[in-house]
A and B are shown apart, each in its own frame.
Chain A
Amino acid sequence: MSRKVAILFLSFALAVTLLGFSAQPTRAVLSLTMWHMEQPPHRVKRVQELLDEWNAANPDIQIKQEVQNWGEIYTKAPLAAKAGGLPDIMFGIPDFTTVLLGTDAVKPVTNLVKELDAKHKFVPAAVEPYSYNGEIWAVPLYGMVHSLWYNKEMFAKAGLEAPKTWADLLAAAEKLHDPENGVYGIGLPANKQLYTDQVLYNIMLTAGASELFNEDGTIAFDNPATVKAFEMYKALWQFSPPDSVSWTWGEAEAALASGTVPMIFQFTVITTWEQQSGMPADMLGVTAIPVSAEGMEGAIYYSNAALLTTGDPERQAAAAKFLSWLLEPKNYGRFLNMEPGLFLPVTADGATAESFWNDPLTIKYRSQVETMVENTKNGALFGFTKGRVFQAIGAISAQNLLSASLQRMLIDGLSPADAVKWGQEQMTAATR
């Protein structure tokens, strides 16, 4: 035994000597660091390809990526900000931006965005969530929007069309619901999690309850339209599989592909559809979120953007140069296609860029992607609408108060009106 331990100790000593502990980078040129949370290996690889290209063409500005995890970044970034360890460029989404703004680390990019807008024409829904307090706080880079994804085969067999209205949606869920054979009408989540927030907000938007805040920053959640959305969710919920309570995006996607449910709300399922379902591309249906009788079109939309987190003007200028390069149509499509069929253009010339549409997967699912791009036009994100952005949204998002309210209704059996009222109270508490 002790010999084994000794060998282990020795080999360890050797390993440390050979590998050496972390090496310090040399600072001959301007080297920038960029943090993003696009962790799946193929996305990291695509970003690296673009960076390699940039670094080769710009020997004076070298950029490296460091990939972070969404799960921890809300803790890690403020810690790093306080300790002076933030990178120069940081990817983010709207609520994360408000959290980081509290630490003074984020520099406004109003002029840069205006410049880029003149050149490429941003989708307004992409800039809106970063425009408040008189500045624009981030450069929009890619969008993600929810759509209703459905199994065309199951719909065709039941003689159904793609649902356009809430009434269609309910009717389809009811008709396709067949639990005896392991098939459920629709897949809806109900855990206290971002996916549930997103699905619920789709229903809220189409019910006409887009605003969380009044203009003065008080909470506007408790209103008849929200209650109507909760009622709709409850009505649909009876057709959802019992364990869908704990679903996140991955389970919903698998349930759609395996035929457990005929439809789900999701950003995309293109990437895995053929492999997981064994069905051809044209059996995958996608449509806009169905609308209530008196509501409006809408879908939850995330504008992902780059924040500048360096105070040094020289580094800021270098970062701006890189971001402008990235948004050039010839590069931009390749950047978006780090996850083809998920990341959508935020600029007008990006939406028509050859580099975007020529990805093999995008070619195969062209009609679906066109629908998704179309859906971005009605995109919105809770708490980031009409310039009514307030600090409290950080805590409201982080605590998943939308889905927490939903749980009060679906799990604890509160009435829709009472659950909404509970949500209003919780959100109000977050504003203090």
Chain B
Amino acid sequence: MRGSVFGKLLGTAALLIVLFTVLFPIYWMAASSVKVPREIIARRVTLVPQSFTTQHYEKLLSASNFPTYTVNSLIVSLSTMVISVTLAVLAGYGVYQTKFFGSQTFLRAMLVAYAFPTVLLIVPLYFVLSALRLVDTYYALIIVNVTLTAPFAVWLLQAFFRSVPQDIVDAALVDGAGQLFVLWRIVLPLIAPGIAAISIFCFVTSWTEYLFASILINSDALRTLPPGLAGIIGQYQIDWGLLMAGAVAVTLPVVIIFALFGRSFVSGLTQGAVKV
């Protein structure tokens, strides 16, 4: 697509509007977190903070367990990511390599996992995890998050597998290479963008998961960020400044990860989407 200077200007303007729509609420949150309380709730709204204070962040760090929550969220999200991606790669390779009987149904059935409302699965799931003595451990959250992410991961990844030229793999196998060697050395590099995409998907999904995290964890030492954030809202009072600072603290790590890997994610996602 090429266009005139005018077209470019118009396109840029439209893009700026879109970006503004997406980014403004996030800016607003960040801006509010450095305002003094009086300015936060003032009837005359200030788009650019007229005051600057770090009091909300100081309170967040001194009084709450946010650093612990962050570490917990990292452990849970990264574990989920590793397990989910591993399971998805293995399953995807299994389908790719053998086209066993029922493999198409299998892929389709993956998505059916999303068809049942999670709000009620929580009751029987709690009993399963409790019987396994896993309630109030990281494992419980990791198990649940893998379940929430793996089906989509397999589904997106199999499109990448299909784009791997069969003859290259066959040639390696004929040469006597083992299946795992082929998967590791030949297939994985080819589907790297897909792996990047599903990794970030798994990470972000576990990072933002709230319902299970709040029900399955009892102790503060194991709590993750979303319930931790909910925790700084007292039932009868809201400290808006502290809340906004907490919101920024919860969002910041994903933003950093996104800044590092966001482009890989987007290119992986877009390549995958065409192939499915």
Contacts and interface: CB of A to CB of B under 8 A. Distances in A.
Interface of A: 1-2, 4-5, 8-9, 12, 15-16, 19, 21-22, 35, 37-45, 66-72, 75-76, 79-80, 82-85, 87, 144, 182, 248-251, 253-254, 257-260, 266-268, 271-272, 275-278, 339, 342
Given A21-B137, A258-B42, A276-B37, A71 B234 contact: no
Given A79-B123, A182-B43, A85 B218 contact: yes
B136 A250 contact: no
A5 B85 CA distance: 11
Given A5-B196, A8-B78, A41-B232, A35 B43 contact: no
Contacts of B220: 44, 66-67
A276 B215 contact: no
Which 10 residue pairs across A and B have the least CB separation, nearest first? A250-B238, A41-B63, A83-B130, A41-B64, A39-B231, A12-B78, A254-B41, A40-B234, A275-B37, A249-B236
A43 to B, nearest CB: 7
A1 B189 CA distance: 10
B4 interface: no
Contacts of B21: none
Given A41-B63, A43-B234, A272 B135 contact: no
Given A45-B63, A71-B230, A79-B126, A66 B219 contact: yes
A76 B236 contact: no
Contacts of A75: 122, 215
Contacts of B111: none
B143 interface: no
Contacts of B240: 250, 254
Contacts of A248: 238
A287 B253 CA distance: 46
B206 interface: no
Interface in B194-228: 195-196, 199, 211, 214-215, 218-222, 227
A5 B218 contact: no
B193 A1 contact: yes
Contacts of B195: 2, 5
A103 to B, nearest CB: 14
Interface residues of chain B: helix, strand, loop or mixed (majority): helix
Contact of B215 (A4, A76, A84, A260): A76
B232 A39 contact: yes
A2 B188 contact: yes
Nearest to B142: A21
A67 B104 CA distance: 47
Contacts of A87: 218
Contacts of B27: none
Interface residues of chain A: helix, strand, loop or mixed (majority): helix
A5 B197 CA distance: 11
Nearest to A266: B236
B32 to A, nearest CB: 12
A232 to B, nearest CB: 23
A342 B219 CA distance: 26
Contact of B214 (A1, A15, A71, A251): A71
A68 B236 contact: no
Contacts of B40: 276
Contacts of B214: 69, 71-72, 76
B264 interface: yes
Nearest to A339: B234
B43 A42 contact: no
Nearest to A248: B238
B38 A144 contact: no
Contacts of B182: none
Nearest to B235: A70
A87 B218 CA distance: 10
B138 interface: yes
Interface in B125-151: 126-127, 130-131, 135-139
B82 A22 contact: no
Nearest to B126: A79
22 contacts: A1-B192, A1-B264, A5-B196, A12-B78, A12-B79, A12-B82, A19-B71, A39-B231, A40-B231, A41-B65, A41-B232, A72-B211, A76-B215, A79-B123, A85-B130, A87-B218, A248-B238, A249-B235, A254-B238, A258-B41, A272-B239, A275-B37
B75 interface: yes
A82 B41 contact: no
Nearest to A45: B63
B24 interface: no
B233 interface: yes
B59 interface: yes
B19 interface: no
A379 B234 CA distance: 22
B259 interface: no
A396 to B, nearest CB: 19
Given A83-B131, A248-B238, 20 more contacts: A2-B188, A4-B260, A4-B261, A4-B264, A15-B75, A19-B71, A22-B137, A22-B221, A39-B231, A66-B219, A71-B230, A75-B122, A79-B127, A83-B127, A84-B130, A85-B130, A182-B43, A251-B238, A258-B41, A275-B38
A70 B231 CA distance: 9
A253 B238 contact: yes
Contacts of A12: 78-79, 81-82
A39 B234 contact: yes
B228 to A, nearest CB: 9
A21 B260 CA distance: 28
Contacts of B169: none
Nearest to B243: A250
